[in-house]
Structure 1
Amino acid sequence: MQTCVPPTSWTLLLATLGSAASLSLEPGCTARHLARYSLTFTGKWSQTAFPKQYPLFRPPAQWSTLLGATHSSDYSMWKKDEFVSNGLRDFAERGEAWPLMKEIEEAGEQLQSVHGVFSAPAVPAGTGQTSAQLEADPRHSLVSFVVRIVPSPDWFVGVDSLALCEGARWKDRVSVDLFPYDAGTDSGFTFSSPNFATIPQGTVTEITSSSPSHPANSFYYPRLKSLPPLATVSLVRLRHSPRTLLPLPTPDLTARGNEILDTLTAPETPLDCEVSLWSSWGLCRGRCGKLGAKSRTRYVRVQPANNGTPCPGLEEEVECTPDNCV
């Protein structure tokens, strides 16, 4: 169950973290001013792009609330090949945001490594968009966030320490394709796997089309060299206006239109048919003194989709000598 965070709590936390900014600059960032960005998260988890075991109900495919922070290099929300914190474990497994928020708050108060937190509403389907605004300063020019994949054992997407500043310049636009990660705290292979704690706890690993290399893995597509993006994120720098914050001008509107179209168009991932093992041979049927026949069967475990390999024959028959002839 998702944890609902009261707006007043976000306001208090943002105020607390915002006051903790240090005067020193992030290495490599010499910008002089604050920068504000609009973040747009786009889910691309469609049944066409990811047909295997696609969750249609109880619950259907969806995305949790997005939770992120702008910070310095002294802080890490999560990192590949490292262990997740208790807060991120609770978020990745159950969508509970408060423990992770508390960790971010402590990093801002004690280490002065976090400038502010931000969140975006959940997306109630596998495809769709949600957005948020965030603020960075030269000391805290990195952004990290996580979004839980729902349903899943402990899988998520996100970015780790994405740099918004380059030298003395804030980047006008940053876009990143997002792929699934395993938090290393639950050993389930499928979207709907029951809770099964990983003991000892593992590190964060990227889920690919061939890893984990188990046919039951929901993202196992051995015909693909790599998975298509499960989601994308776009950050656009905002400029000040007397009444509001507006995006910076886009020099190439045609390119931007193509980018939007590409974001909303999902590739077709072929899904091959999967069948069970053969059953045992049945009894030999026929009249005594003549050849009879016996058969065995198998069943379809995964129906093919998107021009995947069709299913082979499900019944096989061979000649035999009838049983129990006198």
Structure 2
Amino acid sequence: MGTLRSAAAWGGAPWALLLATLGCSAGQPLGGEPMCTAQPPAKYSITFTGKWSQASFPKQYPMFRPPAQWSSLLAHSPDYSLWRKGQYVSNGLRDFAERGEAWALMREMQAAGEKLQSVHGVFSGPAVPSGTGQTSAEFEAHSRHSLVSFVVRIVPSPDWFVGVNSLDLCDGGRWREQVAVDLHPYDAGTDSGFTFSSPKFATVPQDTVTEITASSPSHPANSFYYPRLKSLPPIATVTLAQLPHGPRAFPPAPGLGRGGNEVADSLPAPETPLDCEVSLWSSWGLCAGPCGQPGAKSRTRYVRARPANHGAPCPALEEEAPCVPDNCV
């Protein structure tokens, strides 16, 4: 198993972290040999690219304290599951998804490697200090440890992350040359906040991991709620590419197997239109006008979110209606 670094080695900021592990091959035939027979081991680079821009995600985009940024962690094996859609996260992953604290999760991975022999190695690289940008690292994959899963914490957020589950770099007897994955946000199910900067509000009882979409959660206050969209644009991508080492790899196989993620395209994400959002109307004001003659009353509302990227403009913020004064002397 690779070396697990101490908590002090990650620096003072909770988002200064990118660490990863390799897991065991997913299945074994009756003979006991791993399904992956690719030889020799393959060396890979992993590149995480943040696409969390104000143009793509204009609603409540975090600008300050802290601004939009990424904190990354990767790991997998079939015995030790880092995360899985529809299942509960571990205590360690909860701490990481909510607060960026990785020590408990590091201990969980270390225990899995020592007890289950299911975590092969750990590697790290610099984090991304903004919503857009890249970070990368290198690692070696073996035929018995060819699966990679990872989570990347969205900062700031209640408990949101992006990631991939059970990405197999091996295709039978050959290594994949390159795999690219579009990433979309997930909710860890441990905090009930709706916005990037929501105060801590624990989910009791704890919920399972769910995907965040343009319409779910359906509450208008949700930071990812874009009812005009059928689906959210990718908020990030990850690319794993085999480095020159040993025999030339075969071309990448289509799809990503059990991981359930689709291959990312190379086109930039389009701008996301954000419609103007206004408050509810206030109560009607007093009827103004000469006694015994027709008058007028008014009510107002205010802008909650200004339109962006050619979204629907704001409607009128003041409305008048005829009335007759009823308190004349």
Q: TM-score scaled to structure 2, two decimals?
A: 0.84
Counterpart pick for 2:323 among 317, 320, 325: 320
Return the match for 2:157 from 152, 158, 167.
Answer: 152
| 184 and 25 in structure 1: CA distance in 2 versus 1, 3 angstrom threshold | farther
Provide the residue aligned with 1:255 in structure 2. Answer: none
Q: Which of the pair is proportionally richer in helix?
A: 1
Shift of 1:262: 4.0
Percent sequence identity is 72
**Take 1:14 and 1:155, find their aligned partners in 2: how far apart are those partners?**
19
Q: 1:187 aligns with which of 188, 192, 195?
A: 192
Letter in 1 for 2:309: N
Tell me which residue corresponds to 1:256. Answer: none
Which residue of structure 2 lines up, in the alignment, with residue 287 of structure 1? 290
Amino acid at match of 2:38: A
Q: 1:138 to 1:248 in 2, by over 3 A?
A: closer
Asked whether the equivalents of residues 236 and 248 of structure 1 are also in contact (C-alpha less than 8 Å), the reply is no
Structure 2 residue 9 is the aligned partner of structure 1 residue 5: yes
Deviations 1:200-252 (A, max 9, x none): 111001100011111011000010000000100000011238xxxxx97999x
Q: Distance in 2 between matches of 1:72 and 1:24?
A: 17
From 222, 227, 230, the equivalent of 2:235 is 230
Q: Which amino acid aligns with 1:97?
A: A
Match of 1:68 in 2: 74
Q: For residue 324 of structure 1, what is the amino acid of its counterpart?
A: N
What is the aligned-residue RMSD (CA, Å)? 2.8
Gaps of 5+ in 1: 8-12, 242-246, 252-258
1:34 is displaced (CA, Å) by: 1.2
Question: Of the candidates 226, 229, 244, which is equivalent to residue 239 of structure 1?
Answer: 244
Are 1:59 and 2:89 counterparts?
no
Aligned-partner SS, 1:135: strand
The runs of 5 or more residues in structure 2 that have no matched partner are 1-6, 12-18, 25-30, 253-262
The alignment covers a number of residue pairs equal to 300
Distance 1:196 1:51 in 2: 24
Correspondent of 1:137 among 142, 147, 153: 142
Partner of 2:129: 124
The answer for the alignment partner of 1:273 in structure 2 is 276
Among residues 287, 303, 310, which one is paired with 1:300 in the alignment?
303
Question: How many Å apart are 1:25 and its aligned residue?
Answer: 4.4
Is 2:204 the counterpart of 1:215? no
- Over 3 Å counting, the alpha-carbon distance change for 1:248 and 1:141 in structure 2 is closer
Matched residue of 1:107: which SS? Answer: helix
Contact 1:24–1:139 (CA under 8 A) maintained in structure 2: no
Q: Secondary structure at the match of 1:240?
A: coil
